[in-house]
Structure 1
Amino acid sequence: MATSSNGQVFGKRKEQHIVILASGDRIRHMTIRPWMVTLTVCFLGTMAIGYLGATTYLVLRDNLIGATMARQARMQHEYEDRIAALRAQVDRVTSRQLLDQQVVEDKVEKLLEQQMALTSRHGRIGALLQGADTTGSLPSDGPVPADKPMIDSNDQAALPNSTQAFAALLSEPKMAPGSDASRKPVLALGYVPMTGENVADRADRLFSHMTLSLKEIEAEQLQRIEELASGASQTADEIAAILKRQGVPVDEQASLPVADAVGGPYLAPQSDRDFNASLNALDAALTRLETVRDTAKRLPFANPAPGRDITSRFGNRPDPFFGGLAMHAGIDFRAPTGTEIRSTGSGKVVTAGFSGGYGNMVEIDHGFGLSTRYGHMSRILVSEGDTVEPGQILGLSGSTGRSTGPHLHYEVRRNGAPVDPMRFLNAGMKLTPLIN
């Protein structure tokens, strides 16, 4: 009763399950307790959950891999399309750059031809003027610059050198300091910027500026040639007019170059031919100027006793020995004994010795029918047949011959007849700035 009572009070215990295993005569039994059942169920559940989780992971991983591969394929196609577009753009840029470069090279070649033409002209002008300057044929009022640059300092991009011009053309435009564009590398030859002003447009601007500069230089050359030719002609006219007033003929036609036989169909003049015509005119003017200057330098226009006073002029005067009027065929200079007497022009000594009333005399033939006589010398320093130049010392003053004291008697004769030497001295003062 107590046991029954306890069982009712505390409840019935769970019955244990006994598993009986029989195999032939062998009988085995296994008692299955509740905790064993619980443990088995938990293990099987864990295994089932692990299996389901592994299956789900594998399925999801395949999906993820497929999505990733599809995304990569799309990215690859996009990159390939982008690369193809960039290649097409590069081809277009390369084609445009080749065309622009060809245009630039053609314009550089044209400018080089113009520059070579101007350089050749400058060399011809320099050689002509150097030769004229060496012979003293340049006008005194028209100095020639030693070397005028082709282009001034403000137009240095304009082409003293085709390489510099081409490099300047292909260089990047200057940017403000600190900007992103200012940090770009210097462009190499053959690269054309993708944005902004292209090479062709910049070439048009640059070459227009250079062409204008070259045309200005050409105009300056022509203007300078015309000024020199005009100045040379004017100076030659002035010298020739003075010589003609003194009765000296100037054979200007003999100084002109002999014209060769020429011919051909008529064509419209070109600028280069205009330049050649101007240069020929300048050459003719300088040749004419050289001729008249050489003529003037040969003739007796200088002073035989520089700085000495004139004591007696040309014409009738009282004779110092007889008192009556007598013709004085020259002019007398006050010159103490030993004063140097100089030739008034170039020529040949025809007399050098004692000659009657002249005393010790030197006579020089200057050509063109003109001769000069230097009398009363104390000493003669030249001999007959000598060739003398203007300013050369002929002898020393004295008082030999028909003389009352030391002085220089100076005569100028035309075709043997005496003429007033003052005309030649005055003409010489006018000629000095024109021939020196």
Structure 2
Amino acid sequence: MAERPENRVFGKRAQQHVVILASGDKIRHMTIRPWMAAVTFCFAGMFTVGYLAATSYLVLRDDLIGATMARQARMQHDYEDRISALRAQVDRVTSRQLLDQQVVEEKVEKLMQQQFALSERHGKLDALLNRAESGGAEEAETVPLPGEKPVTGGRRADAAGAVMDPSPRKTAQLAYASAAESVADRADRLFSRVTLSLKDLEHEQLNRIQSLTAGASETADAIQSILRRTGFDVTETASAGGDSDSAVGGPFVEPMKATDLFEDSINDLDIALERLDAARRTARKLPFGNPSPGSSITSRFGNRTDPFLGRLALHAGIDFRASTGTQIRSSGAGTVTVAGRNGGYGNMVEIDHGNGITTRYAHLSRVLVKVGDHVEAADPVGLSGTTGRSTGPHLHYEVRRDGKAIDPMRFLTAGMKLTTYMD
């Protein structure tokens, strides 16, 4: 075999290896160079690494897949727990909102009931307040209790409607507007303010009613006191004389029981106004007016020297200086029982006022009424003159009770005092 030249690689002699393959008569040889060995070695290494990696993957794949599935399961479980927690939180919030809404609706219903109660009171109060105002009943001066607002006399509570703000619809709107804010505390504050406003209105109504009751009672007491000093009692005069106002009756039925302070106050006001009306009706029927306003008194009731006989005699009335033709007025409401000539009285008018009270107007120059006429207080009954036993033009005025003459000055004085209470 011939020698081949040596190859030098990077300054070194490169060794070559020859591989001889013999197969029968055929002989083959293959020269293996270093780079070919390196390449082969590299491929072998790569194959070995790949094989080992594949084997490792196949061995560890189940563990990796199991770990991945476990991780996914844990993540899914965490997500489900989170979703459950969120759902529970949403349920709590929803439940709280429903509870708050229910509370709000209950409070609105309560406010509506209070509003309707005040509105119902309006019907009860309106008639009484109008009756009190038309009757001239004034409010008494009241001192407010501690923590209570003073009552203003000029302001009418209007029973429940006019000063009532908000109305039922506005109350509900305010309440639901508060609920829409989703702030329970603010809703509670709003409801508290509205409730306090309703309470203030209720107190104002009660104070107004109690003030009117006190005023009506004071006025009735004052009129009754004047009547008693004059010799009359309201209960006596109301039951006597067959007055149509006293014609009452019916089966006995237990009275309705007052359910609250408002009902008691309403009943008290009604009783006070009835007392006041009865006292005023009695006072209007009695002769408390002046038959000759503006005229001076020339002779009073009692013993005096008779102008014709010159000796002591009873003067059964009082004389008013009135020139002939002066209009003479009835001192009270009643029915004419005498209208014409009557002895020493001359032309005389006698009026029956009921309760045993009569008045006489004597020495008239002309009579303007006839027997049976009904006259009211201050109606003209005749013209002054000097007819009958008279020394000059004047009015002789008498007041008699059960036919007995009494001093008319008691009635005139009482009438001046009653003027304040009769408007």
Partner of 2:288: 301
Q: Which of 131, 146, 171 lines up with 1:165 in the alignment?
A: 171
Partner of 2:119: 119
Q: Which of 245, 248, 252 lines up with 2:232 in the alignment?
A: 248
3-state SS in 1 of match to 2:371? coil
Q: How does 1:24-423 map to 2 (within 5 A)?
A: 94-134=94-134, 136=135, 138-139=137-138, 145-146=155-156, 148=158, 159-171=165-177, 191-192=180-181, 198=183, 200-251=184-235, 260-262=252-254, 272-423=259-410
Show structure 1 runs of 5+ residues with no match: 1-76, 173-189
- In the alignment, is the contact (CA less than 8 A) between 2:157 and 2:201 conserved in 1? no
CA shift in 2, pair 1:229/1:413, >3 Å: same
Amino acid of the structure 1 residue aligned with 2:189: R
| Counterparts of 2:267 and 2:87, CA distance in 1 | 61
| Counterparts of 1:257 and 1:211, CA distance in 2 | 44
Deviation at 1:227, TM superposition (A): 2.0
- In the alignment, is the contact (CA less than 8 A) between 2:297 and 2:318 conserved in 1? yes
- In the alignment, is the contact (CA less than 8 A) between 2:289 and 2:377 conserved in 1? yes
| Counterparts of 1:211 and 1:372, CA distance in 2 | 61
- In the alignment, is the contact (CA less than 8 A) between 2:111 and 2:171 conserved in 1? no
Deviation at 1:292, TM superposition (A): 1.1
Deviation at 1:101, TM superposition (A): 2.4
- In the alignment, is the contact (CA less than 8 A) between 2:122 and 2:159 conserved in 1? no
Partner of 2:25: none
CA shift in 2, pair 1:171/1:121, >3 Å: closer
CA shift in 2, pair 1:141/1:356, >3 Å: farther
Amino acid of the structure 2 residue aligned with 1:261: V
**Equivalent pairs, count:** 327
After superposition, what is the alpha-carbon deviation per residue over 1:176-234, rounded to whole angstroms, capped at 9, x for unaligned?
A: xxxxxxxxxxxxxx7555xxxx1x22221111111122122222222222222222222
CA shift in 2, pair 1:113/1:166, >3 Å: closer
After superposition, what is the alpha-carbon deviation per residue over 1:141-167, rounded to whole angstroms, capped at 9, x for unaligned?
A: 6877455485998xx9xx522433343
RMSD after superposition: 3.4
What TM-score do you get using the length of structure 2 for normalisation? 0.68
Show structure 2 runs of 5+ residues with no match: 1-75, 142-152, 240-245
Identity value in percent: 57
| Counterparts of 2:190 and 2:407, CA distance in 1 | 68
What TM-score do you get using the length of structure 1 for normalisation? 0.66
After superposition, what is the alpha-carbon deviation per residue over 1:273-319, rounded to whole angstroms, capped at 9, x for unaligned?
A: 22112211111111111111100111001100111111111112222
3-state SS in 1 of match to 2:123? helix
CA shift in 2, pair 1:427/1:141, >3 Å: farther
After superposition, what is the alpha-carbon deviation per residue over 1:65-113, rounded to whole angstroms, capped at 9, x for unaligned?
A: xxxxxxxxxxxx9xxx999999987766554433322221211111111
3-state SS in 1 of match to 2:207? helix
Amino acid of the structure 2 residue aligned with 1:353: G
Amino acid of the structure 2 residue aligned with 1:327: L
